[in-house]
Amino acid sequence: MKRLWLILLIPLLAGCWDSQNIEELSLVVGVGIDKSKKKDEIMLTQQILVPPGNSVQDNQAQLKYKNVTVSAKTLHEAIRDSLLITNTVLTNHQRVILINEDVLRKFPMEAIINQSIRDNNTRRSCHVYLTKRPTKEILGRSAEGEIPSNVIYELKDNEHRTNKILPPLTLGKASSNLQSDGSFAIQAVDIRGGKLILEGAGIINNSKLVGVMNDEDIAALNWLNGEVKGGIIEAAQNGEPLSVEVIDRKRRKITTELNGDHLTINIKVGYTARLSEDWYGKENSFKEGYLKDVERIAEDEVKKDVKKIVYKLQHEYKTGVAGLYRYVENQHPKFWEKNKQKWDEIFSKADINYEVDLRIVDFGSKGGIK
């Protein structure tokens, strides 16, 4: 009997018959997509981890990664052509996809991410970014010991400290947005002072890049969306600068009203905050009336910025990247089903009422004499 069990167990002792050494694999952590100099081709750059102890002798081996760039008519063909240069490519650990502006001005974004969506190995949690510079340049920018794809991915963690960063756009979310109203914003990556930074954003409508936003626009869009998780409101009191730091969002309510085919969107948000800096020499933070005045000033500053971004969205870009269509879809399903193909037109003519309620709950250890 023991011999019989031994015979049955022998096949299980063989281990993973199809396993490969890590040195024989190319683990992709980032991908960049640019226009190729060749007509009707795109250029793919794959950022590949170099395992410790790899014997490959080149300048990038010391930086723990190497970049492989190829051109082809489709991304899948480019991936296969890269196998002429490197080992078997695995995208299970891919963290970012960078797409150059010129690509999205020529090709639909839906086509550009199609292969990644269809690939079972590429995670839908992978982040998608826009670049003004060639992605090949972005992925080649690294301080000693840093992997550019990882640096870009980890910059998102600062969204709790600044309101000038958009919520991460994952591959799955990008695909979902393209299948719905097709209008959304995408965070941009650039280089400043030799360092990788998140700066600006692109506006995608009908799968094409139709405009770009600066950091101030991003902050205002986050306020409109209720996506602010931190950051500073800069304002002035009695001609002197002050800063109010956002702590937490406490409430958000969006209602929509219809008058025939005319849409009104009412947005109300509430945040807690702290008075973090005040240059006014006669300030008295212990006085309730003084803090109420600061709250009003900060609220007015936010509403002014939101009014500007709403004007840009409605009259310059003529598209509702704020995702407000979801509330129309939920609250007026029959109207939405009838008019969803005309959403950009409806949004551009809609009345948008925005109210923000800031409550200063902390002013640090500085105040007037009590």
Lowest mean pLDDT, pick from 53-57, 291-295, 364-368:
53-57
Q: Is the pLDDT of residue 286 over 80?
A: no
Q: Residues 101-107: what's their mean pLDDT?
A: 95
Q: Is the pLDDT of residue 367 over 70?
A: no
pLDDT of residue 235: 94
pLDDT of residue 79: 87
pLDDT of residue 116: 93
pLDDT of residue 368: 46
Cβ atoms 215, 199 nearer than 8 A: yes
Lowest mean pLDDT, pick from 77-86, 244-253, 299-308, 340-349:
77-86
Average pLDDT over the chain reads 87
| Own/partner long-range contacts of 320-325 (Cβ < 8 Å, ≥24 apart) | 320/181, 320/183, 320/344, 320/347, 321/183, 321/184, 321/185, 321/203, 321/204, 321/205, 321/221, 322/221, 322/224, 322/225, 323/184, 323/225, 324/254, 324/265, 324/352, 325/180, 325/181
Cα(93)–Cα(335) distance, integer angstroms = 43
% of the chain at pLDDT higher than 70: 88
Lowest mean pLDDT, pick from 83-97, 165-179, 223-237:
83-97
User: How would residue 253 be classed by pLDDT, with cut points 50, 70 and 90?
Assistant: very high
Nearest to 186, CA basis, from 204, 208, 171, 207: 204
pTM of the predicted model, to two decimals? 0.86
Q: At what angle do helices 215-225 and 288-311 cross, to 10 degrees?
A: 110
